[in-house]
């Protein structure tokens, strides 16, 4: 066959227990396990087209051609599926996002989940969800968590095969919402790929990693019991711990803006006053405020009033990656 094509859609995810640092850079095997929810409404749509007419692999993101490191990461995935299918056709990859790229909303997670699934399907490979999750992981660790739907755990695993993500509760289990307070939509200076390399330079990273099974277990419990107060405590602690590692690495990574802090302090104040919501922040300045859907309007209204908050994205729990058409 000389032309093979598939389109997949995927959502980014927000981690409740964060992934920060790899024990193997090449295989993107993480230092610790993590838990997340997929973010409905925010969509990456990726079409992969293998065709005998292409002389080299190419990549367009939001209709702009990408070369260099961005393209290299995509080619790494394409090489794996080509080898598995026993073909050598080059591909054109075209990806569009309906949300800002590079600003603390994990665009790479949705991008590599969609790329992995579209590539596997285009070449007619009959791969399990776990195997697609592992493939997505090689592009961006957190992408492994955008492959399954709902609430997802990415297992630390003791090997490449055991290091994949799966659903621990379907999206219907608990109507949670992520209200993302956007304080900046500019592209971050240090992306997470470089950030992971610095994690081990922080003296706090070992303590964070050693304590992760405890936090994972508390987070799982909070999800299973639908206990918002417990979830808010553990997700704030986990985010603060990851940012402590970032701030104490060499060179130090500091992703917060003054507005980031302002939102964090407000959320804590609301919790003290009885409104159950918790903040968590990725490698960027925007603040993800997690709450139950019934509180989302109230939380979004309060967030809008904070000076410096430019807009709010409201995202319920989303599905996993899927093929379109
Ligand atoms: O998957 P990466 O390499 O983009 O790393 C994601 C890192 C964080 O977003 C900060 C945490 C996480 O677990 O999503």
From 11, 13, 15, 112, mutation site for ligand 1 pocket: most ligand atoms within 8 A of C-beta: 15
Whole-prediction pTM value? Answer: 0.96
| One domain for residues 132 and 218 | no
Domain limit, last residue, from 173, 191, 208: 173
Phi, psi of 177 (to 5 degrees): -135, 140
Task: Give the residues surrounding ligand 1 with Cβ less than 6 Å away.
Answer: 15, 18-20, 34, 106, 108-109, 140-142, 192-193, 196, 282-283
Tally of domains in the chain: 2
At 104, is the pLDDT very low, low, confident or very high (cuts 50, 70, 90)? low
Give domain status of residue 324, yes or no: no
Domain span including residue 92: 3-173
- CA-to-CA distance for 197 and 200, rounded, in angstroms? 7
Mean pLDDT, residues 2-13 taken together: 93
| One domain for residues 147 and 30 | yes
Give domain status of residue 325, yes or no: no
At 191, is the pLDDT very low, low, confident or very high (cuts 50, 70, 90)? confident
Domain limit, last residue, from 173, 196, 225: 173
Give domain status of residue 95, yes or no: yes
Per the CB < 8 A criterion, the answer to whether 89 and 52 are in contact is: yes
| One domain for residues 144 and 20 | yes
Distance from the alpha carbon of residue 87 to the mean position of ligand 1, in angstroms: 32
| One domain for residues 91 and 34 | yes
From 34, 142, 212, mutation site for ligand 1 pocket: most ligand atoms within 8 A of C-beta: 142
Element (H, E) at 139: helix 129-139
| One domain for residues 146 and 269 | no
More confident residue, 238 or 3: 238
| One domain for residues 33 and 92 | yes
State the chain's mean pLDDT as an integer: 95
Domain limit, last residue, from 145, 173, 201: 173
Give yes or no for residue 236 having a pLDDT over 90. yes
């Amino acid at each position: 066959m000389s032309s093979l094509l598939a389109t997949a859609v995927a959502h980014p995810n927000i981690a409740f227990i964060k992934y920060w640092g790899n024990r193997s850079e090449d295989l993107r095997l993480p230092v610790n396990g993590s838990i997340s929810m997929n973010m409905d409404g925010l969509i990456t749509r990726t079409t992969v087209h293998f065709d005998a007419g292409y002389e080299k692999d190419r990549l367009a993101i939001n209709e702009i051609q990408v070369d260099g490191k961005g393209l290299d990461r995509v080619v790494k995935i394409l090489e794996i599926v080509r080898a598995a299918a026993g073909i050598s056709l080059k591909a054109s990859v075209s990806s569009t996002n309906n949300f800002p790229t590079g600003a603390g909303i994990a665009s790479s997670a949705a991008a590599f989940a969609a790329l992995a699934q579209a590539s596997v399907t285009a070449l007619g490979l009959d791969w399990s969800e776990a195997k697609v999750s592992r493939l997505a992981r090689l592009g961006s660790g957190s992408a492994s968590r955008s492959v399954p739907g709902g609430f997802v755990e990415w297992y630390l695993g003791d090997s490449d095969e055991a290091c994949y993500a799966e659903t621990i509760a379907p999206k219907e289990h608990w109507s949670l919402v992520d209200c993302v307070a956007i304080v900046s939509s500019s592209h971050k200076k240090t992306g997470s790929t470089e950030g992971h390399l610095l994690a081990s330079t922080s003296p706090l990273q070992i303590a964070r990693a050693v304590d992760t099974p405890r936090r994972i277990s508390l987070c799982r419990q909070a999800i299973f019991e639908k206990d918002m107060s417990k979830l808010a405590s553990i997700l704030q602690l986990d985010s603060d711990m990851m940012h402590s590692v970032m701030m104490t690495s060499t060179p130090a990574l500091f992703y917060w803006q003054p507005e980031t802090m302002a939102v964090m302090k407000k959320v804590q104040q609301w919790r003290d006053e009885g409104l159950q919501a918790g903040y968590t922040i990725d490698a960027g300045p925007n603040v993800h405020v997690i709450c139950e859907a019934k509180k989302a309007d109230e939380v979004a209204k309060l967030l809008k009033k904070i000076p410096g908050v430019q807009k709010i994205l409201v995202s319920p729990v989303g599905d996993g990656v899927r093929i379109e058409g």
